[in-house]
Amino acid sequence: MKQGITAAPAAWLQLVGGLFGYGVAVALMIHSGLGLGPWDAFHVGLHQITGLTVGTVSILVGVGIVAWTMLLSIRPGAGTLANMVLVGVFMDLTIPWVPDAPHWSWGVAYYLAAIVLAGFSTGMYIGAGLGKGPRDGLMLGLSQHTGWPAGRVRTLIEASVLVAGWLLGGSIGVGTVLFTFGIGPTVQWGLRIFGVVTDPRPLPGYAMRTPSSASSSSR
């Protein structure tokens, strides 16, 4: 499949659909009241400090990550730039429309639905073949420059972002644990559905946004 602006319209529709689904998943996590995944806790913490919308913060963080990965000789593709912008846009569009979970049981339902939707959506937009997400590029670049396995790099990135998000006031809770342990298997499932991988074994490097190991075969 061609990458970039010359890709087939169906590929772009699949990419946008996946990014929209991921935006909805983040909105469900935010309104669950059970805490957020590492990157989203970081984004919400910055939102609380700056007053910018969560989506705008996500976009600006993505810009910084893309600039960093370019210094690491990882060039962004059209799908990378679309990922960087559209997830933030879709977050801002959907967050106001999702009601707060009225009870912790509803919060759990929100979170489980969000994890499944995030995994499916990740497989959907990566399966479009238009490039990995900014955070996946960061993992790849650091892995190449340090010589460390992608899984170790991803874990260190996620742990650092989680601590930063907590220090900034981002919501950390039982949902953070659910996301940490649930996102890998659901992303693997999503990637299989869209034909990105066929190996049922877990892929290395899953932790938050997208699996860069699958992207290079990848938030």
Only one residue has tokens 């659901």, namely 186
Quick check: is 198 in a domain? yes
Quick check: is 152 in a domain? yes
Q: How do the pLDDT tens digits run along the chain, 219 residues long?
A: 445 555 688 889 999 999 999 999 999 999 999 988 888 889 999 999 999 998 999 999 999 998 888 887 777 778 888 888 898 899 899 999 999 999 999 999 999 999 999 889 988 988 888 877 787 678 767 877 888 876 567 678 878 888 898 899 888 888 888 887 787 788 778 888 988 766 544 444 433 344 344 433 345
Contact 83, 212 (CB under 8 A): no
Quick check: is 4 in a domain? no
The number of domains in the chain is 1
Quick check: is 158 in a domain? yes
Contact 36, 170 (CB under 8 A): yes
Closest alpha carbon to 139 in 126, 148, 130, 128: 148
Closest alpha carbon to 62 in 43, 44, 47: 43
pTM of the model: 0.76
Counting Cβ atoms within 10 Å, is residue 51 exposed (0-12), middle (13-18) or buried (19+)? exposed
- What residue numbers bound the domain in which 181 lies? 9-95+103-215
Quick check: is 3 in a domain? no
Closest alpha carbon to 59 in 95, 24, 83, 34: 83
